[in-house]
C-alpha cells in the first residue's frame, strides 16, 4: 500500500504503554480510532520535541502540510454541495473563516489537543502548549495522519463532525470576525485608502509579551488594541476602528 510506505518514511515515534493509553483517551474524545498509534503520536510531535529527542524521530510538519490540503478539499466540497445558491465569493469567505488559525485552535482546544502535544522544554516554558499556531498546526497534522491511516472517506467524516458546526456559526454570524478584513473593505469603500497599523508599545518578558497597536486611517488614530502578538493586537485595534466607523 503506497500510504503505508510514505507513513514509514516519516520516522514516526513508537509510543510506550503509558503514551498509548493517552492516545486512546484522545481517540475517545475525538471520536476516531487509529490503526497506527505511532502515526497519531507523530501528529502530536512538535519540532521542538523532535529536536530535543535522543532518538531519530520526525516531527508533525509534513503531516500538517498534508492535512491542510485535505481539510481545504473537504470543506470546499461540502460548501459546494451544501449551498448551491451561494456565489464563489460567499463560499470563499465562509471557508476562510472556518479554516482560519483562530477557528482551528478553538476546535483543537475542544478536542483537548493541548493535553497531548509533545513539545520541547523551551517551548513548554514559553507557553507553547496554548499557542494558537501550534494548536492549529497540530490539528491539521492529525487530519493528515487520519488520511494516511484510514483513507479519505473516514477522514472526511472526522473533519465534518467539527467543521459543520463552525460553518453554522459563520452562517448565523456567531463566529469570531476578521475585523482587519472588515475594516480594510470599509475604509477602501468610504475613504479610498488603506488602514495603517502602528506598534505603540510592547511590555513583559520575551516569553510572555503583550503588544499594543493603533490603526491610522487618514489623519485619525484608533485604539490601542492589546494582544499577545502583533496579529492579535492589530485585530483588537481594527475592531475598535470598525465598530466606530461602521456604527456597529
Residues assigned a catalytic role:
68, 140
Q: How far apart are CA 49 and CA 118, in angstroms?
A: 6
Residues 6+ apart with CB under 8 A from 222: 214, 215, 216, 237, 240, 241, 244
Cis peptide bond prior to 64, omega within 30° of 0: no
Residues 6+ apart with CB under 8 A from 180: 195, 234, 235, 238
Q: Are 218 and 188 in contact (CB under 8 A)?
A: no
Q: How far apart are CA 85 and CA 90, in angstroms?
A: 10
167 CA to centre of own chain: 15
E strand residue ranges, 106-179: none
Q: How far apart are CA 200 and CA 86, in angstroms?
A: 41
How big, in percent rounded to 5, are the helix, strand and coil portions of the chain?
65, 10, 25
Q: Are 222 and 214 in contact (CB under 8 A)?
A: yes
The order of strands in the sheet holding 210-217 is: 196-203, 210-217, 220-227
Amino acid at each position: 500500500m503506497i500510504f503505508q510506505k510514505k507513513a514509514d518514511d516519516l520516522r514516526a515515534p513508537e509510543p510506550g504503554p503509558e503514551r498509548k493509553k493517552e492516545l486512546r483517551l484522545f481517540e475517545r474524545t475525538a471520536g476516531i480510532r487509529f490503526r497506527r498509534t505511532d502515526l497519531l503520536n507523530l501528529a502530536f510531535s512538535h519540532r521542538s520535541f523532535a529536536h530535543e529527542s535522543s532518538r531519530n524521530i520526525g516531527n508533525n510538519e509534513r503531516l500538517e502540510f498534508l492535512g491542510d490540503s485535505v481539510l481545504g478539499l473537504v470543506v470546499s466540497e461540502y460548501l459546494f454541495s451544501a449551498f448551491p445558491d451561494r456565489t464563489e465569493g460567499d463560499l470563499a469567505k465562509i471557508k476562510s473563516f472556518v479554516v482560519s488559525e483562530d477557528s482551528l485552535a478553538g476546535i483543537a482546544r475542544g478536542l483537548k489537543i493541548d493535553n497531548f502535544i509533545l513539545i520541547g522544554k523551551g517551548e513548554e516554558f514559553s507557553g507553547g502548549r496554548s499557542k494558537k499556531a501550534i494548536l492549529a498546526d497540530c490539528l491539521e497534522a492529525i487530519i493528515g495522519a487520519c488520511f494516511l491511516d484510514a483513507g479519505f472517506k473516514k477522514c472526511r467524516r472526522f473533519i465534518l463532525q467539527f467543521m459543520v458546526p463552525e460553518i453554522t456559526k459563520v452562517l448565523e454570524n456567531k463566529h469570531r470576525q476578521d475585523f482587519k478584513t472588515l475594516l480594510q473593505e470599509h475604509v477602501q469603500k468610504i475613504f479610498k485608502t488603506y488602514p495603517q497599523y502602528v506598534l505603540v508599545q510592547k511590555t513583559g518578558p520575551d516569553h510572555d509579551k503583550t503588544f499594543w497597536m493603533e490603526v491610522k486611517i487618514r489623519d485619525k488614530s484608533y485604539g490601542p488594541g492589546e494582544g499577545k502578538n502583533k496579529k492579535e493586537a492589530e485585530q483588537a485595534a481594527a475592531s475598535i476602528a470598525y465598530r466606530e466607523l461602521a456604527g456597529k
